[in-house]
Each structure stands twice: as C-alpha cells, then as structure tokens.
Structure 1
C-alpha cells in the first residue's frame, strides 16, 4: 500500500514514543494524537493516553482509568510525560515560541501565550510538530522563549528534546552542541528543499535516510480504526 505524506508524518510522530515505557503521552494536534494512539496499538503498549481532563483512555477513547490533577502534575514535573507541542517559531537549539511575533512589549501578532511550555520543556521530554515547514517557523532567533532549548536548560535534570516532525522531514538534536540536525527526509523531499525552508544552517549528515515506511498493519490501523474519515489530510494534504 502506498502511504500519503500525512501517514508518514503520523508514523514519524509515533516513533517519538518508541521505547518510552509507562509514561503519559501529551500529543497536541491531530497528527501527533494519531501518532500517540498508533504507538500505543503497536510498539508502545505501556503508553498512557489521556482525554486531557481527568481520565486515562484507550486508543479508541474509552476510559481505562482515573488521572486526578494532582497525579497528572506529579507525572509532568517528575519527567514521566512526553509532550508533543506545536511551535510558531523554533530555533537551532530548540527554543520554541507560541506567544507573540515581534517585540514582546508591542507584538505584531498575539498568539497563544507562554502557557505551560517552560514547565513542559524543563521537566520532561518534549517533541514538536510543525505542519508547514518554513522560514517563518524555523528561525535564527525566536521572538520570545516559551519552550526552553538546549542552550538555556543547564541543570534541568529531565530536559530532553526528542524530535521535531514537520511535513518535510524529521529533525533531532543529536549533535555535539545540541543544535538541530536533519535526521530523515519524508519520501519525495530533498535536502535542498529542507534547507531552503529553514531559516538557519542545519546540521546535515553525509547520508540522510528517508523516514521509515508505515507497515501494512499501521496503515490499516490509521485508515480503518484511528482516522477512517481521513481528517489527517486537513493538516498535511499530500
């Protein structure tokens, strides 16, 4: 079966939780949510999913446990959650902005606000999902630091940026200075296309693999059980 770009993105997001064990997944957005549920159904059976309020749920949304807010905060601050957030801006060291564009005192655009990004990034593993890879998102310097990058996280014991998944590629920070690296290309995408869409110099290995293909069972799960209405195509229409 031929996979769409959106399905490659779902699998790439799912891979963020491979080997995570019994931790709480915190996917934000459609594609990351599909990825977390797919991971739970396949290679990460111990992964905990939540409805975002007070329940632990199965991949089909049916309740399987209670998660009171006090316990939720304990997981968040103790390194036992892995969130995948969005980003309005990201820089080479993984500093994230979701608050404003322009000078914070007189912004050109007001966005979500800092929200829980500092607590998330300093206290447990974090990944990012970017549905439109462009120089507007991947910038030399973020206008306001919300999520904390590697160059600002000294002494934070649970700080770890796992991966960035975009509609073009998978990126990580597996470099000596923890600057962003091109880890894999989605099929049909070139290294130059990613470089052109990135506002800073990426670390690019001599050989860049392609993002792994979804298995036939993963495609069946996504298409028949997790997203039969193909809502994933609304985020990535390729």
Structure 2
C-alpha cells in the first residue's frame, strides 16, 4: 500500500469516492442511493465518469446531478426497472454477513427481538431483481456479523441455494464502510477486503469485523479523488458538508 500524497482529503470524501465507484460501468441504469454519502457519490459519478446514470428526486421525477427535473418516472415504469435488473440500489445494513445477507428488520430472535428496526421493506425484491451495494457508516463487529439475525437482503449463498430464478439479476457489487471497501470476488462468493481508506490499517478492519475476511496479500488504499472531483464534492454537490455528519472525522 502506498499512502495518499494529498493530506487534506477527509474520510468522508474517501467514502464518497468509494460509493461513486460502485456505479462505474453501469451505463444507463437507475441509481437509488440511500444516505447522504451514497447520494453525493451518485451525483459525483453522474457528473464525471457515468453521464448516462439516471437519478431521481426520491419520488417520481428524474433529475440531473444539480437536482433539475429532466423527466417523469411513473411508478409502473419504476417497477419495470426494479424487476428487470436496470436499477442499482445502495442500501444500508444494520447487520451484514460474510456472504452479503443483510438485516434491517430486528436484532435478536424474530418472535421476541431485543430491538425492532425498519422492517424487511423492499430488501428482498431489491436484492433478487437488481444490483444492490451497501453503505455502512459505522463499521463494527455488531454490524459485520457471522450470521444475521434475520435475512432481509439476500446474500450469495442463499441466492445460489434458491436457484436460477434468484440468481438471474442478483449482484452485490460492493460494500462500502467508513473503514474500507469490500467485494465478493472469492471462489465461494464470501466477503473480501478490496481496499482500506487512507489512515486505516488492515488489522483495524479485521478487529472491527465479526467474521474472517478474505484479505489479499497486498491491500490497496481507496483511490484519491482528483482535484476536479474534490471541487465538485465541496463546491457543487455538497457545499453544506452533509457527508461529514455521516462519517466520523
């Protein structure tokens, strides 16, 4: 690993870059970012290397990276994109395991949980019908767990067990946390450490993860944003600094 030569890039800005990279190469596909950092990342991707990316206002309008309305997306058309693999969501996760199974419903036994969360919501439909990445702003062994308490988003092992109907559009491009970037580029489709953000060590990631990660011999750092990308993040997309409220300094 080679440290970054740029000293004033914040951890939040590295997270933005990592989230933006999730949509690289997707083409004309609907981006559905959930959270401040993924939203900044999606807009950055649209303004730079992914100009065909479609963005919405979170309701029924297609917007450009500045939030200006470009068109209308009726709910029927939205569902067509969802069920046809033409949408790439970046969701959160209260728990995620080594195969990418995600939980946002409850902690503890389902019949009498110790904590009630959001509920299953659209996670099963999302994961079985279009690519889903994850954004986790607080990496810890309470989130990265050996086994999720309830499966909401479907991971690689469960999709494979369900057969071709479940794997047709199933894809988990990456998981981004405040410590690094993770993918599933392993023979058994278990989680692999793809990069660490500058200032983070591999040992820190291991200690904060509740299962054994696949760790390559040489783990790179998450790439630096270019000066142009930094200017877009700081001056155009997120001048109020919402990214810094989601990621610890």
Q: TM-score, normalised by structure 1?
A: 0.99
1:164 to 162, 168, 175: 175
Aligned to 2:11: 5
Aligned to 2:66: 60
Instruction: Quote how far apart the aligned CAs of 1:237 are.
Output: 2.8
Distance 1:236 1:161 in 2: 22
The 5 A counterparts of 1:15-26 are 15-26=21-32
Aligned to 1:204: 215
Q: Is 2:36 the counterpart of 1:30?
A: yes
Aligned to 2:225: 214
Distance 1:142 1:195 in 2: 18
Instruction: Quote how far apart the aligned CAs of 1:231 are.
Output: 1.5
Distance 2:20 2:112 in 1: 38
Q: Is 2:200 the counterpart of 1:194?
A: no
Distance 2:132 2:104 in 1: 15
Q: How many residues align?
A: 238
Which whole-Å deviations, capped at 9, do the CAs of 1:161-206 have from their partners, x for residues lacking one?
0000000000000000000000001001000000000000000000
SS at match of 2:18: helix
Which whole-Å deviations, capped at 9, do the CAs of 1:52-85 have from their partners, x for residues lacking one?
1110001111100110000000000000000000
SS at match of 1:151: helix
Distance 1:48 1:109 in 2: 36
The 5 A counterparts of 1:73-152 are 73-152=79-158
Q: Please provide the CA RMSD for this pair.
A: 0.6
Q: Is 2:184 the counterpart of 1:173?
A: yes
SS at match of 1:25: strand
Structure 1's consecutive aligned runs of 4 or more residues displaced over 3 angstroms after TM superposition are none
Distance 1:27 1:114 in 2: 18
Q: TM-score, normalised by structure 2?
A: 0.95
Instruction: Quote how far apart the aligned CAs of 1:27 are.
Output: 0.2
Segments of 5+ residues of structure 1 without an aligned counterpart are none
Aligned to 1:69: 75
